[in-house]
Structures are given as structure tokens and as C-alpha cells.
Amino acid sequence: LGLRFRRGRVVLAIAAIALADRMLLRFGPGAVSEDVARWALTATSFLLPLDLAWLCLARERGTLTPNGFLRLCAIGAQPAVTSFIWLSYQPRLIALFARRVLPAGLQPALRMPHVALVAFVGSFALVAVLCLLRRKALEIGFLWAIVASFIALESAPPATLYLATGELILVVALLESTFAMAFKDALTGLPSRRADRRAHV
């Protein structure tokens, strides 16, 4: 649908969520050592909300375009970069992600590290402001996809169900956005002539 309606941001967001799901399954508890599983959760919970916020803020550049390809490469390179950080043994950098940044009285009992929590809160706040300013279906879809991703990463593994819910929300937002483009006037938000003709059919 994203390819058909030239909504590259949605395609890439769904790809990012699907990639996060694969990483959590491949490097989750039981599949690898506890340290590797913790790093995989840390990297995924830090990068996923930033990816969703970035794609929500970005301009639409399509998918099968040079810009779309570069964005896809940026998302696809993230597992390789995080794996390199772990395999090259960067204890200071890894410790930085595990560092507690919240005050002692505000330390929630969460699975994800504080740095990832800050990334989620910042991404949610940024996209929420964008929703208030634009009031578009896609932006609202991205907002709820961030919420679904947060629940997924905080729930007991596997997180596939919640991540798939986030993807489904984006698909519904895409359909709603396409419907609004076809049947609503972009300037006034009122039903267009096409909507009037559809009502009389």
C-alpha cells in the first residue's frame, strides 16, 4: 500500500519495526547470552523511537527513489553498527547506554535502560506536538506506533504482537490519509466534489 500510494515514510517505518522484531527474536533471552540480549534490547529500544520520530518529521520522498534508498540503508545499517559496537568491545560506550540518567526518585521499574526511556519520551513529545500542529492521520498513526513499540519493548518477550499492532496502526493511518486526500478539500477540510458524487451513487 505504501508503495502504491507513494508513502515511503510508512514503508520505512514498518520496515524499522519489523527489523526491531527480528533483532529481539534473534538476540532475545534464551537465544543468546544475557549480556548480548541486554545490549540488543538497549540498542533496539533506543533506536526504534528515534527512527519513528525521524520518519514522522521527514518530508515524503517516496520509496523507490534515491532518497528512499538512502533512508532504507540508514535503517538497515543500524543492526550492523550496534553489532560492531558490541563485537569491537567498547565498554565505555556500552556503559553510557546503560547509565541511569533519571533522578533517584524517578527511577521507574522498567526493562529498558533510562537512555532508551528518554528517547521514547522525547520522540513521543515531538510527534505529539506535530500531531497538534498538523492534525493529519499519518502523524497520529506514528504517535500510536511509538506507544505500541514502547509497550512491546516493556512487555515480556516475544514482543511481536505489539509491534505488529504498531505496523497495523500505520497501515490504517495510511488508508485514512489516502481517503482524506481523495474525498476532502486540502484547504478547508470539507468534503470535496468527489465525496458529494460518491454520496449520491
The pLDDT tens digits of the residues spanning 178-200 come to: 887 766 655 555 555 554 555 44
What's the mean per-residue pLDDT of the chain?
84
At residue 200, the pLDDT reads 46
Burial grade of 24 (CB within 10 A; 0-12, 13-18, 19 or more): buried
Residues in the chain: 201
DSSP 6: T
CA trace torsion 25, 30, 32, 37 (10° rounding):
70
Distance separating alpha carbons of residues 25 and 19, to the nearest angstrom: 10
Distance separating alpha carbons of residues 28 and 166, to the nearest angstrom: 20
Q: How far apart are the first and last CA of the chain?
A: 26
Of the candidates 169, 196, 170, 165, the one whose C-alpha atom is nearest the C-alpha of residue 183 is 196
pTM (two decimals): 0.84
Quickly list DSSP for 98-130. Answer: H---S-GGG----SS-HHHHHHHHHHHHHHHHH
The answer to whether residue 14 scores a pLDDT higher than 90 is yes
The answer to whether residue 40 scores a pLDDT higher than 80 is yes
Burial grade of 87 (CB within 10 A; 0-12, 13-18, 19 or more): exposed
* % pLDDT > 90, the chain: 43
- C-alpha cell, 159: 514482543
Residues 6+ apart with CB under 8 A from 37: 27, 28, 29, 31
Of the candidates 141, 143, 148, the one whose C-alpha atom is nearest the C-alpha of residue 166 is 148
* % pLDDT > 70, the chain: 86
